[in-house]
Amino acid sequence: MAPVAVVESAPVAHHQQEQSAELKITLTPDHLRFINKQLAQLEPQQILQWALLTFPGLYQSTAFGLTGLATLDMISKLKPEYTQQHPVPLIFVDTLHHFPETLALVDQLRARYPSADLHIYRPENCDSTDDFTRIHGERLWETDESAYDFLVKVEPIQRAYEELGVRATLTGRRRSQGGKRGDLDIVEIDAFTGLIKINPLANWSFADVQKYMKDNQVPYNALLDRGYRSVGDWHSTQPIAEGEDERAGRWKGRAKTECGIHETSRFAQFLAQKKAQESHATELTA
């Protein structure tokens, strides 16, 4: 059975606090299909406007890839309809293994969009790469790739969703990125958490996004000028060759195409594993 999402407002930051505690939005499978059919005819700016008017607890989760940057800039231009200068708070997961160019871009964006409320989440109990190595060992991405993904990406973003009261999130995914994203809907429901995921630029090509970035002079990751298209951690990202999918440079040579953030079954598996480990540790202590 397809999931049914119930979105309830919660005590969260800024404009979300003004939402009524009684407000509920329910999306049945039929309603979701209808919404996606209607949104398919709209431009990203119209989809963003609709999302802002529809969902309490709306955030943008982004690693500041090209699509996320275009989304960020579009939102900044929705004024003066909203009292806040930038009405959607941002969530950035610092895996502690980003390229220096990615972190430099974050500083640029703080200066370009000073009113955007940026929440940065890192792996639990870690403030630096040294912390992560000390707790989890050297080159965990090679010795246990799945555990690495969970620790640096999946757990921090799920912690952010819980702590911030996120009910709906804007993502930077597009169909033209290839892989599992080829049949992407504009609005999805996370089957495990019930989170609403909105992909406002799902219909756009890489060329569409590039044109928007150029026309609006949006800052972007310097690595894109060196043949990179989708930028993740330094140890698992490479430039791509002509004709390859945008995400071909991520985990090159492996069947893997997603880190786990958008694969909720893996998140459920890790939660179960973590709970079992904690239970076992408690028994040993007793």
Which residues carry out catalysis? 259
CA distance 40 to 156: 31
Residues 6 or more apart whose CB falls under 8 angstroms from that of 155 comprise 123, 124, 270
User: Nearest 5°: phi and psi at 41?
Assistant: -95, -5
166 vs 238: CA distance, rounded Å = 32
């979105």: which residue's tokens? 7
Residue indicated by tokens 């004709």? 243
Query: What totals of helices (H) and strands (E) does the chain contain, helices first?
Result: 10, 8
Structure tokens at 50: 């609709």
- Cis peptide bond prior to 156, omega within 30° of 0: no
Secondary structure of 180-191 in the HEC alphabet? HHHHCCCEEECC
- Beta carbons of 173 and 200 less than 8 angstroms apart: no
Could you give the CA distance from residue 111 to residue 206 in angstroms, rounded to a whole number? 26
The strand pair at 187-189 and 196-198 is best described as antiparallel
